[in-house]
A and B are shown apart, each in its own frame.
Chain A
């Protein structure tokens, strides 16, 4: 056990660091949410209960672009599907059941998975998972409230370029995945089809259609993303 304590401390410190770095994005979510038409309460409910960044940005992004809230919900749902695969990859190490499993499921996100799956032991995997997941959760929700309150009091969001911030947020989320040319091609296909549909389709439809066709093309070409 002599080596366990320093290793544990290292995992806790690293996890809290990731928690802080990720949690502060909540400011941008809160600010963009309220300038997209959500109330402060709605922005906070989304961060508390949806709690998966890309889906949350998708929901408000579609609404801000003039799409129906349900097109936003559908886009958010599709983006959230990856968390199922994260859950699968760490279920064997968490080994939870009952209410503990229900609570653990809520913090199955990119960061908690990444800080967990590489550990040597199950105990360290759990330490990385829970420390990262819950520290992101606490900060993400606090900063959402701050951003939402600020967003509501600043007037026209375009003056501050906040409408441009959403595209940049999505690009920053996509960027680490664009490692090979086939993957870049799939992303560009989604973009091109969506833009091609903008003049003809109701807002929200181009996003879902572009994304769906890009995924089908990727399946057809057997691209591994």
Chain B
């Protein structure tokens, strides 16, 4: 198997494992104050980091290109409460347009 298939297998196992554990683990373990707080913070911290790298990382440096402009468009669409797909493909369209001109 290629490393990509191994990574997919690992992701399948861990993501299903979380879901199944939630239906199985006694409440006491998971309702601890610190566990609840960490669970809320993990997506916020990780998505913040993911967005930054996705948009501003070039070849081992920080770059501002069409992706940054597309992010601004995405923010604008989110502010006016556009649906998910409009935000995603609106940002893609903006980046494509900027590269075209």
**Interface residues, chain A, with chain B CB atoms under 8 Å away:** 21, 24-25, 27-28, 37-38, 42, 45-46, 49-52, 54-55, 58-59, 61-63, 65, 68-70, 72-73, 75-88, 90-91, 94, 96, 101-102, 104-106, 108, 158-175, 177-178, 183, 186-195, 198-199, 203, 206-215, 218-219, 222-225
Contact = CB atoms under 8 A, between A and B. Distances in A.
**Main SS of chain B's interface residues?**
helix
A75 B71 CA distance: 21
Contacts of A106: 16, 19
Contacts of A69: 3-4, 6-8
A194 B56 CA distance: 10
Nearest to B40: A225
A84 B15 contact: no
Contact of A83 (B10, B22, B36, B61): B22
8 contacts: A69-B7, A75-B50, A83-B18, A91-B22, A102-B20, A105-B16, A164-B66, A198-B61
Interface of B: 3-8, 10-12, 14-16, 18-25, 27, 30-31, 34, 36-57, 60-62, 66-67, 70-71, 73-75, 78, 83-85, 87-97, 99
Given A79-B46, A167-B55, A191-B52, A73 B22 contact: no
A209 to B, nearest CB: 8
Contacts of B70: 161, 164-165, 167-168
Contact of A46 (B11, B41, B67, B73): B11
Given A161-B92, A207-B53, A219-B34, A172 B84 contact: yes
B26 to A, nearest CB: 9
Contacts of A199: 60-62
A163 B95 contact: yes
Contact of A82 (B24, B42, B73, B83): B42
Contact of A167 (B3, B41, B51): B51
User: Closest 10 CB pairs between A and B?
Assistant: A87-B22, A214-B45, A161-B95, A69-B7, A210-B49, A190-B48, A168-B91, A187-B48, A211-B46, A164-B95
